Amino acid sequence: MAFERLREDIATVRGKDPAARSALEVALCYPGVHALVVHRFANALSRRGFPVLARWVSHLGRWLTGIEIHPGATIGRRVFIDHGMGVVIGETAQIGDDCTIYQGVTLGGTSLEQGKRHPTLEAGVVVGAGAKVLGPFVVGEGARIGSNSVVVKAVPAGATAVGVPARVIVEEADQRREARAARMGFSAYAVTQGANDPLSTALHRLIDHVAEQDRQIEELRATLARMGQAVGEVGEPLDAGQLNRMVD
């Protein structure tokens, strides 16, 4: 069982790191693999009621690899910790299958309360070098965290979050909104920067809605005019592009 997991860890590294040349090289020279093996042992000791011994084993693992994983952390299958030095994974952190974590990453907490205080990474998340993910929220499946970002709130599945504090830069919803905005004749400028701010999102939606209503009223006026119906003048048209730039 332990050897099967080790074999799987080695295969994972060979699949994800073009620099890995042989299974022997991975087994001997990849601290991420060593840290996972030590963690499985420490985690088993912790679950069997030997918390101090578990911490001591985890401490030895940190000393050997530069990767600190609390024995209580839950780590899935085929996780790849690349380079590893300076990685800290807190007690209540959960890491799903197939995640990749680079050197200098912290999966930490911001409160001293007992209970869940570290993040949960769903399957396939990539956390770039030096990123700090702080708090008991979920980073959704397949999300990517930019190197050196500081993530303090949930990241939707499939999204990319970068910066300090991290903001979501690529979301399908944004792309759909951009396409719709382009059809309406303005650019949805700045919406991605404000995607994490509910007030900004609400204002962008209202502006979009009014712009779309204006467009439909214009179409109705044109149709009525073609039918010979006199239609009164309307006020200054809304400049949705300019308003969107003013928000956020």
Ligand X SMILES: CC(C)(COP(=O)(O)OP(=O)(O)OC[C@H]1O[C@@H](n2cnc3c(N)ncnc32)[C@H](O)[C@@H]1OP(=O)(O)O)[C@@H](O)C(=O)NCCC(=O)NCCS
Q: Which of 34, 78, 118, 144 binds ligand X (CB under 6 A)?
A: 144
Q: Does 163 bind ligand X (CB under 6 A)?
A: yes
Q: Does 132 bind ligand X (CB under 6 A)?
A: no
Question: Residue 41: phi, psi to the nearest 5?
Answer: -70, -50
Q: Does 187 bind ligand X (CB under 6 A)?
A: no
Q: Which of 108, 148, 203, 221 binds ligand X (CB under 6 A)?
A: 148
* Contacting residues for 135 by C-beta, under 8 A, at least 6 apart: 109, 110, 117, 118, 119, 152, 153
Does residue 226 contact residue 219 with C-beta atoms inside 8 Å? no
Task: Give how many residues touch ligand X by CB under 6 A.
Answer: 13
Q: Which of 61, 90, 96, 128 binds ligand X (CB under 6 A)?
A: 128
CB of 136 to ligand X, least distance (A): 23
Q: Does 102 bind ligand X (CB under 6 A)?
A: yes
Q: Does 156 bind ligand X (CB under 6 A)?
A: no
Closer residue to ligand X in complex, CB, 12/92: 12
The stretch near ligand X (CB under 6 A) out of 27-35, 54-62, 158-166, 237-245 is: 158-166
Residue among 97, 87, 52 at smallest CA distance from 71: 52
Cα dihedral sign for 73, 157, 130, 103?
positive
Q: Which two tokens stand for residue 128?
A: 């770039």
Residue among 236, 244, 109 at smallest CA distance from 185: 244
Q: Does 20 bind ligand X (CB under 6 A)?
A: no
Does residue 156 contact residue 171 with C-beta atoms inside 8 Å? yes
Closer residue to ligand X in complex, CB, 91/200: 200
Report d(CA 247, CA 241) in Å as an integer: 10
The stretch near ligand X (CB under 6 A) out of 133-141, 155-163, 200-208, 209-217 is: 155-163
Q: Does 146 bind ligand X (CB under 6 A)?
A: yes
- Using a 10 angstrom Cβ sphere, with 0-12 exposed, 13-18 middle and 19 or more buried, the burial of residue 179 is exposed
Does residue 60 contact residue 53 with C-beta atoms inside 8 Å? no
CB of 134 to ligand X, least distance (A): 16
Q: Does 160 bind ligand X (CB under 6 A)?
A: yes
Q: Which of 87, 95, 138, 162 binds ligand X (CB under 6 A)?
A: 162
Judged by the rule CB under 6 A, the positions of this chain that interact with ligand X are: 83, 102, 128-129, 144, 146-149, 160, 162-163, 169
